[in-house]
Structure 1
Amino acid sequence: MISIRKILCPVDLSKGSLLALKFANAISGRYRASLAIIHIMENPHLDIPGGETGAFSFGELVNLYKEERQEEIIDVLKQKGTHAVDYEIIFKEGVPYKEITDTARNIKADMIIMSSSTSEKSEKVAGATTERTVRFAPCPVLSIKTDHDQEKREKIEKIGDLMDMSPNVKRTILLPTDFSEHSELASNYAIAFAKEYKADLIVLHVIETIAEVSFMSSVDLPGYGTTSIYYDGLLKDAQARVKNICDKAIEQGIKAREYIIYGNPRREIIDIADKESVDLIIMGTHGRKGFSRFISGSVTEAIVRNAQCSVLSVKHPEHNFV
């Protein structure tokens, strides 16, 4: 069961972030949740006419800056559609992803909803902030892809359509899993969302190949005999685990099917999402830092960056809503 009480939405007033705010407002209304909007102030003295000339004191500039930004945010919140039960607007100064994750922790947010745009220079910065937020957030992060072509953008903007629960609206959720603790948590979210939104569920496991060794070769791998035997063992294990997830979904009345493929997870997840016209990807993230992240990279962050649909990323959180 999905139970959302508090949503945090970062807004930098770019087109993408305002679209994400519109979506967050609708989701908040659907679940009768409170909505907190956070805006990170950078150079208020440069964004107010006359600010660079010293015509206003710094305190006056900050107040003017806040008033203007608040008006723009409220204009979006008042647009036609489903609205949050209540909202607050928070202004912060500092490194965006740190302020976002710290605020999420302080207000005990159930979920962060934010834009993941990469099409314009200003929104590439926002995209990088989203990836860092995914890595450090204490709660699930729903990144809304807002840099689609015009047709897809119009579809996202029709919030009423996204909230339409009629049975003739077909939705597909993709659950990539590596069977880790974080992926197990993500499977709970995927099943809950698929049931709530009457969506089909695709469970995907990618058996990552070793770049230097051909899958069909017989080169020895330490401790595993031949390469083919090694991969055969991985395949049998994956089949059993994926079937278990699908069975749990089917028990909930969800239409579920599976993919088990060989390749690079970053590439294969994107390819399947495109091939199946997926509406939402739900996946776990390890939130690795430092050297371990450098070695393995972050698959989830790569998917957030490159997927042509929205992504809900979860890790073993301090706070969750399923």
Structure 2
Amino acid sequence: MLKIGRILCPTDFSDFSERAYQYALTLARHYKAELFLLHVVRPVMIGYPEYAIPDSVNEFYGELREYAEEQLREFAKAHAEGGVQAVVAVEEGVVTESVLDFARENSVDMIVMGTHGRRGFQRLTLGSVTEKVLRKAGCPVLAVRQPAHDFVGPESGGEPVYLRRILLCSDFSECSERALQYALSLATEFGGELSLLHVLEHLPSDVQFEGEKARVIHLLEGEVPEKERSCCKIKAFVRSGKPYEEIIKLAEENQTDLIIVGVRGRNALDLALFGSTTHRVLQLGPCPVLAIHA
């Protein structure tokens, strides 16, 4: 079993963060983990700051903080279940940095956040806070966006976590290798099926794809350590096309409960790759997405 001792769930009291909290609460109950419920009070732009009275500004922020703490306590009380009592916290500052700082300072093992899927122009700002945290966090981040397919909830038949089909997207990089270890641990723990997927891009013909397919499947299967091949059912898939489209297609075909992706570092190229694939999987995927850092 994975060792998850501390889970952080940031909230802005929206429906999206409420669903994410349900996941955080259920996982905390399963792993007997400490659960933090965090709200960040963002700085307010004050007109004519040179005329602002410091005591009045401090009083304003104090009242804002007290109100947020009261809302958090009521939120936690309304959603309490299974003996899990969340530790509520309010921070002031930029949301992304506050979440990352809190996670680091409190040695959090997993962050669970809500996001939302939008199309058209609005997709450019989709869940911007969640995505920034997902890229920069030092621990795994689970992104939940009112998916078509859940792995917690009443449909689980009494089990707190119903994780039966996991999809791992691999590009044979170091971050994919770490994500594979995490995926194997989850599949073994919950008796689930693990699908390994690699997508070949820019192939000029079907003939070339068929020639590559057997080789890549062999590579995918070789990624799994010998001692772990009997711990869970493993299937290898190779597709040709745009990575995010093939990831989503396979997830829908297999009724996947969880998509796992490895996330690289923080340089410009890494962020571009994140934007082109993981971003769209977050938007359009049928289930929650778990990001694992190298």
TM-score range, shorter chain: 0.7 to 0.9
**How far apart, in 2, do the equivalents of 1:104 and 1:24 lie?**
14
1:204-227 deviation line (CA, Å, top 9, x unaligned): 1111225xxx2258xxxxxxxxxx
Q: Among all aligned residue pairs of Structure 1 and Structure 2, give the percentage whose two residues are the same amino acid.
A: 27
> Conserved in 2, the CA contact under 8 Å of 1:134 and 1:287?
no
What is the CA-CA distance between 1:285 and the residue it aligns to? 1.1
Q: Quick one: which of 251, 259, 263 aligns to 2:230?
A: 251
SS in 2 for 1:39: strand
**How far apart, in 2, do the equivalents of 1:257 and 1:304 lie?**
23
Change (3 A) 1:11 1:299: same
What is the CA-CA distance between 1:258 and the residue it aligns to? 1.9
Change (3 A) 1:89 1:83: farther
What is the CA-CA distance between 1:184 and the residue it aligns to? 0.8
Alignment-mate amino acid for residue 279 of structure 2: E
Match of 2:18 in 1: 18
What is the CA-CA distance between 1:81 and the residue it aligns to? 2.0
SS in 2 for 1:251: coil
> Conserved in 1, the CA contact under 8 Å of 2:151 and 2:258?
no
Determine whether 1:65 maps to 2:44: no
Q: Following superposition of structure 1 onto structure 2, how do residues 181-260 of structure 1 map, counting pairs within 5 Å? A: 181-210=174-203, 214-216=204-206, 228=208, 234-245=212-223, 249-252=228-231, 254-260=232-238
Consecutive unaligned residues of structure 2, counting only runs of 5 or more, are 47-52
Determine whether 1:311 maps to 2:289: yes
Match of 2:153 in 1: 158
Aligned residue pairs: how many? 284
Change (3 A) 1:296 1:44: closer
1:35-75 deviation line (CA, Å, top 9, x unaligned): 222222126699xxxxxxx9x93333323322332233223
Consecutive unaligned residues of structure 1, counting only runs of 5 or more, are 47-53, 218-227, 317-322
Match of 1:320 in 2: none
Change (3 A) 1:296 1:72: closer
**How far apart, in 2, do the equivalents of 1:88 and 1:199 lie?**
33
Determine whether 1:171 maps to 2:161: no
**How far apart, in 1, do the equivalents of 2:273 and 2:4 lie?**
35
> Conserved in 2, the CA contact under 8 Å of 1:250 and 1:256?
yes
What is the CA-CA distance between 1:239 and the residue it aligns to? 1.6
TM-score, normalization by structure 2: 0.82
**How far apart, in 2, do the equivalents of 1:262 and 1:35 lie?**
41
Match of 1:75 in 2: 74
Match of 1:104 in 2: 103
Match of 2:27 in 1: 27
Change (3 A) 1:128 1:295: closer
Change (3 A) 1:131 1:45: closer
Change (3 A) 1:110 1:159: farther
**How far apart, in 1, do the equivalents of 2:20 and 2:281 lie?**
18
**How far apart, in 1, do the equivalents of 2:71 and 2:182 lie?**
33
Determine whether 1:118 maps to 2:117: yes
